[in-house]
Amino acid sequence: MKRFRPLLAGAIMCAVLACTFGEQGALIGATPSAQFSLTPGPIVLPTPLSAEITSQLEAEDEVLANIYQRASPAVVYIEVMARETDAGALLSSGSGFVIDSKGHIVTNAHVIEQADYLEVSFFDGEVVEARVVGQDPYSDLAVIQVDVPGERLLPLELGDSDTLRVGQRVIAIGNPFGLEGTMTVGIISALGRSLPSRLLESEGYFSNPEIIQTDAAINPGNSGGPLLDIHGRVIGVSTAIRSTTGVNTGVGFAVPVNTLKRVVPHLIEEGTYHYPYLGITSDTRFTLAELAEPLGLPVTQGVLISSVQPNTGAARAGLRGGDHEVEVRGVAVRAGGDIIIAINGYRLHSFDDLVAYLVRETRVGQEVVLTIIRNGEVMEVPVVLGER
């Protein structure tokens, strides 16, 4: 039980009235008739809000609670264990979600990349062994499979990430820091972000395009879990955060569900995904608008080719990379190369646009037509795409 403290209350009251005491304890700065009560007055609570005001919030709470009840049974906790050396040691952990009644579970490639032995924990506490079906480090997606009766599996519905809008509310469910079945809520903060793929340096640099940015709390352990819309449909796969501390700072990223729809069937069938490859590099430290003046470029949007890789479609088509260097803001930039301004008539604003189009719209062995500018002249060049 809390007790009232007279001395403290008196001190506070004097401080408020700016009063002081003289040598004999007489009150200075107040009239002789001033009376002070050390007994607390009645506590007055605010009037409860009307149902009209709270009903909308209650409806929102009901939507979120319903999504969790429907979606959480499909979300699993994945533990990557060491089988032979340090038997039983936990190497890493993450999240995943069921996508069909055959036991296929989607997660991140980086969650299971060291897997010797996988254990999957379901919402009801059942723990089963899983095997890796396929993985793709470029998109950071992987598929694992468990041997569980189909009637016990509750797959999530897949949405359409092409219809997403910034500001739309989203829900993440996963296992941050091993805390199973955690739900967080936020909005889509941005669309069309690009993240570097998790590859060895010897394999080159590739970016994962069209990434969803969200402020929904995503932390270590959320990786591989679903990002949902308010209908409970999967719109993305939580994959990364941007942080200087290793924990959430309001900037999280998810692979869009339409990338999942394109990649996962191939992972199930072949264990891998085949990416088309043009065979060029471009300096992404600057936009073309920033390079236009110092390099004397005729356009401010497009892709300036820095180099062309040998034995690629770009090389065979005769595309040209830079032939000299120009210093821009203290940085050496390769200049003089072709500028790609469109692919198959699709106007390009940046290198990310080119990567996104290749990944989304083309396949290995397909011929595409590049619109380029070379020495001030606009040209169309057909290129047969290779494979990464």
First to last CA, the chain: 70
Residues 106 and 368: their CA atoms lie apart, in Å, by 32
- Catalytic residue, candidates 93, 95, 104, 110: 110
- Catalytic residue, candidates 140, 215, 338, 353: 140
User: Does 349 qualify as catalytic in the annotation?
Assistant: no
Nearest of 109, 81, 115 to residue 96 by alpha carbon: 109
User: Does 274 qualify as catalytic in the annotation?
Assistant: no
User: Does 352 qualify as catalytic in the annotation?
Assistant: no
- Catalytic residue, candidates 139, 223, 238, 306: 223
Query: What is the number of residues in the chain?
Result: 388
Instruction: List active site positions.
Output: 110, 140, 223
